[in-house]
Amino acid sequence: MNLETGGTPIPDEAVHARSQHGSEGILKLALGAIGVVFGDIGTSPLYAFRETFAGHHPLEPDQLHIYGVLSLIFWSMMLVVTIKYVMIIMRADNKGEGGSLALLALISRSTSGARWTQGIVLLGVFATALFYGDSMITPAISVLSAVEGLTVVEAGLQPLVIPIAIAILIGLFLIQARGTAKVGELFGPIMVVYFIVLAVLGISHIIKDPVILMSLNPWYAVRFFLFAPLTAFLALGSVVLAVTGAEALYADMGHFGRRPIRVSWLAFALPALMLNYLGQGAMILGLGTEGARLAIHNPFFLLAPDSMRLPLVILATMATVIASQAVISGAFSVTQQAIQLGFIPRLRIEHTSARAAGQIYIPAINWALMVMVILLVLNFQTSSNLAAAYGIAVTGAMLIDTALLSVVLFNLWKWNKLLAGVLIAIFFIVDLAYFGANLTKVPDGGWFPLLIGLIAFTLLTTWARGRKLMLERLREAAMPISVFVKSAAGSATRVPGTAVFMTTAADGVPHALLHNLKHNKVLHERIILLTVMIEDFPYVDEEQRSQLKDLGQGFYRLILHYGFMEDPDVPAALLRVHDCGAQFKMMDTSFFLARQTLLPSSRPGMAIWREKLFAWMLRNAESAMEFFRLPTNRVVELGSQVEI
């Protein structure tokens, strides 16, 4: 049984946004947001400033370049993070939920039938595909950059950097199965300490050279481009590392709410980050030419005095583990949404918390990420090498977010065309500049996220297309239910009990029912034709969960509605249905599932290699029995063959 996306519309007021942010204090939620939402962008000072000067396009660490880079970092944070994401995109929530897929569902629902809808869907899917590349690179570069701080403490520790980083990463992935509820309670306080340390370290050097604050003037960024346009353009490829993680603010909005994230960003994270970057710039300028050239290879850890560098390495490592944890959890959440929206086959999803529905664990994703992260560390060896790969995924996703935002401003919110046009033009210019600068690093590692994105995009679109074709073929061969009820109800032997036939179509006779009648020649006293519909909304109220239709002769059509952030639990839903005879008892109920086998076909649909890929994905999908939480001893599977 495959999920059916959309289905019978349900009233907008029936959707439950699950916004639980009113009862809790803003400060408490803001603290939680610091621990989860800002982990990625919070660890950027470890490598962003360094990479701009000592990365793949080195700059001389003189006043012109340092002031120019600091100005670019500040205004990038203001334009990309503060204005684009915090002030505008976070307003485009899908009943409280954010992220590329949630935004895509919102746009698709609101612009259904438009000529360009399919193109927007493909863009949203590709943004999701790029996220998987990002979720592999973030743990690798974050942990590796923190552990590399050991070489600042003691140069002889260089051979231990990679083994220690890999050990930390393996440990991180191993604990995922146990859940992160207890660890999560420590995230906020640790990250608060980390951000305070960032600010204190920065202030300690700004005090020595307060003139560095002048670099916040946008004129220094403009002067940088006027003096050396090509060099400044290439520098953007590393400057963008300072805003990596901006998309996490939007994706995690459902967990904390728009206002707490805004508060924690504007009042805490943004000032701490900028103070640290300014401190790094002030320190480098105060070392003289030769000292600056040496220190620029690891300025973050050199901010601290000798006696405090080892504790700083430990704190930074903890912060990078937290940042990695947030990205891994994000990969689980995105995968769950993609499964529910019909872009990924069913995968086993485990809940690691009885209280928090959002805390899930997907073994297949966890182990795939772990293998790829370890291979990245072994292949690229240093965080500097990984930085070349990092920017492509981030800037690509940001560029797509701007395209989706343009649809929201013009078609959903109906903003003034001049105002919306100016805003979108600015965002596109900035995003295209960042993306173009990172394209120059494709030979040095930028190919990796593009490759991962292409593979993920192929898998997602193949599954969505194959599933659509399979449903169409099944509907073509389906018998009208009214005809079946009239002909079969009186002629077949009726036996006690309830039979639930799960079907993707909300009309027609399920293949499993036809096969059962053909081979067993009996019908149960009560027959439920059950369809699970996944809506474009994140959550659906219990009162609107089910739609029941009496077809006569003991036949009923039941449709269960779930949001794309919910886990379907069919037995629990059946226990709440009371209008079709006696209450459901699982020991008297049999569930009949159809398992499709694909046959090669000359019919136009998909290329043969994609048909084979779809067939492989279908064979390896999680059992519908487990996915819908059906009792294992009450399930009967009947096979059918389908040509696509």
Q: What is the CATH classification number for the domain harbouring 396? A: 1.20.1740.10
For residue 258 the two structure tokens come to 């728009």
Last residue of a domain, one of 464, 492, 525: 464
Same domain, 426 and 527: no
Pairing of strands 350-351, 360-361: antiparallel
Same domain, 552 and 417: no
Same domain, 429 and 515: no
Same domain, 175 and 315: yes
Same domain, 435 and 545: no
Give pLDDT, residue 197: 94
Q: Which residues pair with 594 in a beta bridge?
A: 638
Q: Is residue 504 part of a domain?
A: yes
Same domain, 311 and 438: yes
Last residue of a domain, one of 439, 464, 489: 464
Torsion of CA 202, 205, 206, 209, to 10 degrees: -160
Q: Is residue 62 part of a domain?
A: yes
E strands, 403-543, in order: 493-502, 522-534
Rg, Å, the chain Cα set:
27
Q: Is residue 11 part of a domain?
A: no
Give pLDDT, residue 216: 93
Q: Is residue 545 part of a domain?
A: yes
Same domain, 451 and 493: no
Within 13 Å of residue 430, how many CA atoms lie on the same side as its CB? 24
Same domain, 496 and 447: no
Whole-prediction pTM:
0.80
Last residue of a domain, one of 464, 493, 511: 464
Torsional sign, CA 70, 74, 75, 81 = positive
Q: Is residue 235 part of a domain?
A: yes
Q: Is residue 10 part of a domain?
A: no
Q: Is residue 469 part of a domain?
A: no
- Given a contact cutoff of 8 angstroms between Cβ atoms, the answer to whether 209 and 282 are in contact is yes
- In the block, tokens 């007021």 appear at 13
Give pLDDT, residue 25: 65
For the chain of 644 residues, list the mean pLDDT of each consecutive stretch of 10: 40 42 60 76 88 83 91 94 89 72 74 64 82 86 87 82 92 77 64 92 93 93 92 90 82 74 88 95 87 85 89 89 81 82 82 59 89 91 83 86 86 85 92 90 84 88 86 74 76 84 79 80 87 80 85 87 83 86 84 77 75 85 82 80 66
Q: Is residue 6 part of a domain?
A: no
For residue 455 the two structure tokens come to 């593979």
Overall domain count for the chain: 2
Residue 174 phi/psi, 5-degree rounding, is: -70, -30
Helix/strand/coil for 582: coil
Same domain, 455 and 541: no
Give dist(CA 283, CA 261) in Å, integer: 31
Residue 548, burial from CB neighbour count under 10 angstroms (0-12, 13-18, 19+): middle
First to last CA, the chain: 16
- In the chain, helix, strand, coil percent, each to 5? 65, 10, 25
Give pLDDT, residue 115: 59
Give dist(CA 201, CA 19) in Å, integer: 37
- Helix boundaries (H) for 217-269: 218-227, 229-239, 246-251, 253-256, 258-264
Same domain, 362 and 505: no
Same domain, 449 and 563: no
Q: Which domain holds residue 323?
A: 28-344+352-464
Same domain, 216 and 148: yes
Give pLDDT, residue 112: 61
